A and B are shown apart, each in its own frame.
Chain A
Amino acid sequence: MTGIYRSVFDIIGPVMIGPSSSHTAGAVAIGQEGNKLFGGIPKKVTVHYYDSFAKTHRGHGTDYAIAAGILGFKTDDPRVPDAPEIARKQGVDIRFVEEDGPSPIDHPNTAILDMSDGEKKIQLSGCSIGGGAIEIRQLKLHGLTITPSGPLPIILSINHGQELTDEIPVDLFLQKHAPYNIKRAYHNDSCYIYEYDLKNYLQDKLIQEIKTKFPNVICL
């Protein structure tokens, strides 16, 4: 039992624009997580597809779905099919590459997003596991490679030049309001990142509270 599907609405839902929940709705979700991780719309995005995504992205509308997610659209937004055109008009350069090899994160529905805006470069590796649900299995930012378990929600606390002890307020808050299964710590010379795999989905109100209390936290 993996327990990845935590809500009845993962199964009955999402309400979405067709045609595929894994290749369209799930792809929107991967794009949305890219937007959240980047902290807005990147100037340039290169999307690397693997396996089933590489073979069938055109038929399933995966390209427009990922573009829609990057722009921050929801799965049932009627603008989803027009997202690439809308992105172009906004000056966002999105390219798609069909990769030959196996998925680096070991799933047939894999998309890796290389996002950049000048100096800022962030990579997100996601897979669409079915019914619109996704996993994020790898993140690269600030020179660190983060490997969460996969299922959402994931919380990142990013601290430049600060020690572990500064993490305690976030830890305590999460333990009380958003219990987590695993906490992982990553660091290099300039940055400490703490990653939390949460047990349950977060309500919007709680996400807002976390963001207000801890400006250095990203909620995926």
Chain B
Amino acid sequence: MYQHIKEIVAAAQKEHKALSELIIEQECQTSGLPREVIWQKMKYNLSTMKQAVEKGESGDGVYSKTGLTGGEAIKIKNYRQKHQTLSGDIMMQAVENAVATNEVNAAMGTICATPTAGSSGTLPGVLFMLKKRLDLTEEQMIRFLFTAGGFGMVIANNAEIAGATGGCQAEVGSASGMGAAAAVEAAGGSPEQSAQALSIAISNLLGLVCDPIAGLVEVPCVKRNAIGAGNALIAADMALAGCTSVIPPDECIIALKEVGHSMPAALRETGMGGLAGTPTGQAIKTKIFGKDA
């Protein structure tokens, strides 16, 4: 099993293979399952993501039980149709996909955790925008998920992917790094550029806290995925332009771990600090769960 990003990149360079190919081979080896079975599993995950995006972007959208989130993917969709967006239609399309997915998650709909449910909008945000932008085939989309997942395994095994242990940087930050690396491959960039994109994306979200209001995966989680997707695209574009991270990818991952461990518990998914701790955040909690909660 690949333990570090530099090992995956070195193997890809040596064997002249795509990152996604190496991750598929690794999965065949560790699971003992045939390639076709693994491919179909990822295809199923892709179809789940597609359905979640479509659900969040159809009709009036979806709304959570609490009413804290919902319907904003539709607002973005309408805005894109009627106005010239400031950050560009492509960027806002990624944001719309990301928000749609996390609104479905908050409404207890079916999603694919990537790497977590709270950060489940970031990868689809990037992926379904790239499908249109680069006219990706289904095979390329499935490969995108293998590359993202392979890089995500290295993050998960060397740092964290849970808000309770590493803050939101471990969830949306990790997802953003994974998406940036996979976007580079989808755009025809080199394995080294994928690693650089991951470094840049993670570096830009280091320190992001996990502060869900009332402990619900709604506010600020849904909008955090908008920045996860946007940041992934920015990092991927910068890496494709030849920009590099001064700190190597594996050290960025260690930094993520160290920052997570330095965070006080109030900022690690306890619903106590950050936005959850504000007067409005506390008032919402009381309204939903009562005074003794």
Contact = CB atoms under 8 A, between A and B. Distances in A.
Contact of A14 (B112, B149, B218): B112
Nearest to A62: B215
A76 B110 contact: yes
Nearest to A200: B30
B153 A10 contact: yes
B157 A132 contact: no
A59 B165 contact: no
19 contacts: A5-B156, A8-B146, A11-B148, A13-B45, A18-B117, A19-B105, A21-B117, A21-B120, A22-B163, A22-B269, A24-B117, A51-B265, A55-B215, A56-B212, A59-B217, A76-B110, A108-B164, A200-B32, A203-B31
A18 B111 contact: yes
B271 interface: yes
A165 interface: no
Contact of B212 (A15, A59, A61): A59
Nearest to A55: B270
A131 B116 contact: yes
A135 B177 CA distance: 25
Contact of A11 (B1, B107, B111, B115): B115
B108 interface: yes
A57 B270 CA distance: 10
Given A14-B112, A15-B45, A52-B270, 7 more contacts: A7-B27, A15-B111, A21-B117, A59-B215, A108-B265, A130-B162, A132-B116
Contacts, number: 195
Contacts of A24: 117
Interface in B124-180: 145-146, 148-150, 152-153, 156-158, 160-166, 170-171, 178
Contacts of B163: 22, 130
Contacts of B41: 9, 13
Nearest to A8: B149
A81 interface: yes
A6 B1 contact: yes
Given A4-B156, A108-B165, A12 B216 contact: no
Contact of B31 (A17, A58, A200): A200
Contact of B164 (A6, A19, A22): A22
Interface string A60-94: 11000000000000001010010000000000000
Contacts of A1: 3-4, 157-158
A110 B133 CA distance: 43
Given A14-B113, A16-B117, A58 B32 contact: no
Contacts of A52: 164, 265, 268-270
Contacts of A128: 162
Given A21-B117, A132-B113, A12 B145 contact: yes
B9 interface: no
A59 B214 contact: yes
Contacts of A9: 27, 41-42, 45, 149
Interface in A128-152: 128-133
A16 B109 CA distance: 8
A201 interface: yes
Indicate the member of A1, A56, A129 with the most B CB atoms within 10 Å: A56
Contacts of B114: 11-13
Interface in B1-40: 1, 3-4, 23, 26-27, 30-33
B156 A19 contact: no
Nearest to A4: B157
Interface residues of A, number: 49
Contacts of A25: 113, 117
A12 B158 contact: no
A56 B269 contact: yes
A9 B118 CA distance: 17
A135 to B, nearest CB: 12
B110 A15 contact: yes
Interface in B62-115: 104-115
Top 6 A-B pairs, shortest CB-CB distance = A130-B162, A56-B215, A59-B215, A18-B105, A11-B152, A8-B149
Contacts of A10: 115, 153, 156
Interface string A19-34: 1111111000000000
A57 B156 CA distance: 23
A132 B152 CA distance: 14
Contacts of A56: 212, 215, 269-271
A58 B293 contact: yes
A10 B126 CA distance: 20
